[in-house]
Amino acid sequence: MSGSTELKVYENLNELSRAAAAEFVRLAANAVQGKGVFTVALSGGSTPRALYELLGGELSSKLPCNRMHFFWGDERFVPADHEESNYRAANEAMLSKLNVPAANIHRIPTEMPDAHQAAERYEQELRAFFRLGTGELPRFDLMLLGLGGDGHTASLFPGTSAPMEKEKLVVDVWVEKLHANRITMTPPVFNHAVNVIFLVSGADKAATLQSVREDAYEPERLPAQVIRPVYGRLVWMLDRAAAGK
């Protein structure tokens, strides 16, 4: 059984970001109205920056801040104030401008001695927050994801074991070509979410996007293909340049 898939194309990154922000606000309001809380895992990279700025700016009054819990789908194993940090990017653009209680901001603990311990600690945080029993998965209201030119999403990189991980909730990944450690949630977590939204912008992503959506299923070559929500909605929100092919 799998969830539904939608594809929405917008003229440019600005309109894509505005549409994504409106959807974010809608999902947050629905979740809080329905169960009193909204849980979201943010994506990193540059594509969501304008979205985060809208949510931290003109749309901030529409967000039920004290009922929202922010997590990260992946993180670079760098200090929280490092220019590469996904936490820092989201904090500067959005979180620092919202009245979200500090306890509701669930940063991946990159101050741990190594990436493996950071991943283990974050898995414990997910298990505690979602009160998971053995074998249970967290169900996020919203997962935001991007798409890398090599077909990665979050830090599920080709040539690593992360895209095929089926047991753990969070793993550490050595990415040889980046010469860097990453921490990432795993496919079972992404695929258990209620809403999964890919934000993809730019002509440089068009060929990869076409391969991900149309080529045979090869998640080790195209990890973004592994994102197939079991029950939830999968929404591709693209600008025209990325949708070009």
Residues in contact with ligand 6PG by CB under 6 A are 43-47, 74, 86, 146-148, 152-155
How far apart, in Å, are the Cα atoms of 205 and each of 55, 85, 101, 120?
A: 25, 22, 36, 32
Q: Residue 39 or 184: which CB sits closer to ligand 6PG?
A: 184
Q: Least distance from C-beta 136 to ligand 6PG, angstroms? A: 25
Looking at beta carbons, which residue is closest to ligand 6PG? 146
Q: Count CB-CB contacts under 10 A for residue 46.
A: 11
Residue (147 or 226) nearer to ligand 6PG, CB:
147
Q: Cα(239)–Cα(100) distance, rounded to whole angstroms?
A: 30
Smallest distance, Å, CB 217 to ligand 6PG? 20
Query: Which H or E run includes 92?
Result: helix 86-93
Smallest distance from the beta carbon of 131 to ligand 6PG, in angstroms? 26
How far apart are CB 122 and ligand 6PG at their closest, in Å? 14
Closest to ligand 6PG by CB, 34 vs 149, is 149
112 phi, psi to nearest 5 deg: -65, 160
Which helix (H) or strand (E) is 19 found in, with range?
helix 13-35
Nearer to ligand 6PG, 69 or 205 (CB): 205
How far apart are the C-alpha atoms of 55 and 61, rounded to whole Å?
Answer: 9
Q: Which is nearer to ligand 6PG, 86 or 104 (CB)?
A: 86
Residues 6+ positions from 61 with CB-CB distance below 8 Å? none
Tell me how far, at minimum, the Cβ of 124 lies from ligand 6PG, in Å: 21
